[in-house]
Chains A and B, each alone.
Chain A
């Protein structure tokens, strides 16, 4: 899968928001709030091909957690991204 084009990550206090800034995004006011971990993963895979495995490995490398825990963390995140329509 791939991240869709036209989004930009904006820091906001201790959180992040992903905002639709490109003309290619249909819903011009779309906005998704993310915590630091989700924002880190988004930026790491932005514009590249990736899957759940890629994200889990990124978590292992960045936070030193084991791969099984990482996979469990990634599943709901990917569901959120899919539901928000920001990946395809």
Chain B
């Protein structure tokens, strides 16, 4: 069975046998089902057996912290092979083999399917769209008055907490996505933020998009303060908030071009904050002007 999904305007297809249990783990993708299967950016197909990858050559390993997913990248048979695990030390839970254009992925799932299937699709999406004015972000996004406010920060800084503070204190706010929203520069230059099937621990899978009102980089501090970021500061704050393999030149070029357009278009701020209502009000009043 093949089903097509559309996230941030990019279509992709998932191919798995009809009665495979992995379909039960696709609920976060449901809001993104698309009837029209033409012009998919990529296809991800479940393998019924793993090929012999013994000639694989290790390229790099990525893991942003002990409790963050680990992705080991290999070159194998002229393609990329990724081995995925939910944490730094955990055993491999999924294999993803893809052509170098990231248009045709094949994957194998082991153990808990939810983590592995979701991660496989997220990686394929991030890499396939990296050259298409699109960034899969690590951020929390709250909507207010038809605009999306994108909160950045290192893991544990309080991005989700800050979103909740807006929602609980400022009327008319709602959460668009709590972990992996997608920002896209549209053909007319408008910068929009989209919900996605990936939202970390918060089940929040909205097929909704709005223009980006502002991007706010959060830092924990002893008192609340906000300021506008320079172009370079904004670029740097964004740079660490999306992923991609920058040693792949055309991917790095694509990510750079998109980031540059975003930070040149959208107002970006740095917020020193406590986890309190005053921080949310200070932020909201400044960035919604």
Contact = CB atoms under 8 A, between A and B. Distances in A.
Contacts of A8: 252
Contact of B232 (A12, A20, A22, A23): A12
A12 B236 CA distance: 11
Interface residues of B, number: 15
Contacts, number: 33
A28 B246 contact: yes
Interface residues of A, number: 15
A33 B246 contact: no
A23 B264 contact: no
Contact of B247 (A10, A12, A23, A29): A23
B272 interface: no
Q: Helix, strand, loop or mixed for chain A's interface?
A: strand
Contacts of A23: 59-60, 247
Nearest to A16: B232
Interface of B: 59-60, 231-232, 235-236, 239-240, 246-247, 249, 252, 256, 260, 264
Interface of A: 8, 10, 12-13, 15, 17, 19-23, 28-29, 31, 33
Given A21-B247, A21-B252, 13 more contacts: A8-B252, A10-B260, A13-B231, A17-B235, A17-B236, A19-B239, A19-B246, A20-B246, A21-B249, A23-B60, A23-B247, A28-B246, A29-B240
